Amino acid sequence: MDVKSLCLGALSLKDASGYEIKKMFEEGPFSHFYDAGYGSIYPALNKLLADGFVTCTEIEQEGRPAKKVYSLTETGLSSLKEDLNKLPVLDKTRSESITMLFFGHLLSPKHREEILESYIDYFRNGCECIEGVDPTGQPAGRLFVRGLGLAVYEAAANYMEENKDLLLSIDEENDETEKQNNLLVETGDAA
Amino acid sequence: MDVKSLCLGALSLKDASGYEIKKMFEEGPFSHFYDAGYGSIYPALNKLLADGFVTCTEIEQEGRPAKKVYSLTETGLSSLKEDLNKLPVLDKTRSESITMLFFGHLLSPKHREEILESYIDYFRNGCECIEGVDPTGQPAGRLFVRGLGLAVYEAAANYMEENKDLLLSIDEENDETEKQNNLLVETGDAA
DNA sequence: TTGATTATATATCAAAACGATATATATCAA
DNA sequence: TTGATATATATCGTTTTGATATATAATCAA
């Protein structure tokens, strides 16, 4: 499922402009499991328009470019359903926060704490974000995904709050770290 | 933190070839929060070599191309520490499974169940993968990330198993779905 | 035993995606 | 009043991806 498919998915929820689709990905219903930038959204919309999967209505605005509102066509809905009927590829995740915590021993204690607290906040805010949307009348799939997100975010935040001492107790310059580093070197060379 | 930085990170754990680095991303310690393909790993290693961040030892092999083993230099370690000292960007996640479950009402019941059961298996297998590695002697950061992964994967699998009826009870063609779709259209147009 | 599959290795490249940038007014908070 | 943010349309250089190339070794199932 590429960015074009996801734009079709967004437009299956409601008609939207490129800017609004970006907001749906970034802050809206998709924000916890999908994102794409303007660099791919606008080309995708142009391609979908050329292929007849969407139609476009331009609304003149004062002091701004005309707003282009895209709507899903029947052809587009069929294409979306076809994509949804395939098997999903594995999740793709890239987390700089987890990567930095993984290398916690190479960070200063202050930086380590900063990243950890920010990451906890990220999940707490994510929960509030999800809870801030009234679930009444939402389709079952969306409710399910909402509940999944909450479960995962709460588990992550709870684990990190309960285990922060494990990470914050690292002494960057002590013998234990060096011993651990030497153990890693030895383990690596054993291969 | 781009692919070059992550290659430096991988080499901080042990010397490795491009192929081994890919395995570390795909199946090893990074597999739950970072991945990259050969298409970016080999160019990254070549750039790091040119920049003096790594050195390279070629080991001749019978019947195969020579194995190129890369090692981190002091310059490379400094560059890695510098990258780790920055603030992380937000996590980037792209999940086709969650996207498909989100649009559950557009799927057949059989396909919905297939995706759901596969996704539960993905997390259960992920837990077994993590638990299959002996944590003894691992640095605190790595232990912390290991625990976080377990907490998140278990929460996800548990939630989905406990709530699968919510998703599997969707009747694709019934009035409820149409009513929900109409509600969505009305909600969308209210904007 | 044999054929299929997977593992081990090095890579490249066309296509897709990203993030910064361009342009410019409206709105808001200090 | 000023700086930051929001609302809009986009593009483009850079990065990344996924398929592909090449080829033998090892493993596995029939």
Which of B104, B118, B141 is closest, CB to CB, to A144?
Answer: B104
Structure-token match 């198993």, residue found: B161
CA nearest to A95, candidates A74, A73, A122:
A122
CA of B16 to C1' of C22 (A): 43
**Tens place of pLDDT per residue across chain A (191 aa):** 999 999 999 999 999 999 999 999 998 889 899 999 999 999 999 999 999 999 999 998 888 889 999 999 999 999 999 999 999 999 999 999 999 999 999 999 999 999 999 999 999 999 998 998 888 988 999 999 999 999 999 999 999 999 999 998 877 544 445 455 544 444 443 33
> What is the predicted ipTM?
0.89
Position B169 scores a pLDDT of 82
Determine the Cα–Cα distance for residues A46 and A26; give it in Å rounded to an integer: 20
Q: What are phi and psi of A174, to 5 degrees?
A: -85, 175
CA of A37 to C1' of C12 (A): 27
**Residue B140 · residue A104 · CB < 8 Å:** yes
Is A70 domain-assigned?
Answer: yes
Nucleic chain C contacts, Cβ below 7 Å? A 2-4, 35-40, 44, 62-64; B 17-20, 23, 38-39, 42-43, 45-46, 61, 64-68, 89, 92
CA atoms within 13 A on the CB side of B190: 6
Is A69 domain-assigned?
Answer: yes
Q: Select the more confidently predicted residue: B31 or A53.
A: A53
Comparing alpha-carbon positions, the chain A residue that sits nearest to B170 is: A140
Position A75 scores a pLDDT of 96
**Same-domain check for residues A60 and A110:** no
Is B91 domain-assigned?
Answer: no
**Same-domain check for residues A72 and A119:** no
Domain total of chain B: 2
Comparing alpha-carbon positions, the chain A residue that sits nearest to B189 is: A14
Determine the Cα–Cα distance for residues A116 and A108; give it in Å rounded to an integer: 12
pLDDT at B57 over 60: yes
- Comparing every residue's Cα with the C1' atom of nucleotide D25, the nearest one is B63
Most confidently modeled of A65-69, A178-182, B40-44, B187-191? B40-44
CATH number, residue B70: 1.10.10.10
Q: What are phi and psi of A135, to 5 degrees?
A: -80, -5
Is B104 domain-assigned?
Answer: yes
What single DSSP character describes residue B19?
Answer: H
Position A188 scores a pLDDT of 42
The domain boundary, picked from A84, A118, A140, lies at A84
Give the other-Cβ count within 10 Å of A59's Cβ.
9
Structural domain harbouring B69: 3-84
The domain boundary, picked from A84, A105, A120, lies at A84
**Same-domain check for residues A120 and A162:** yes
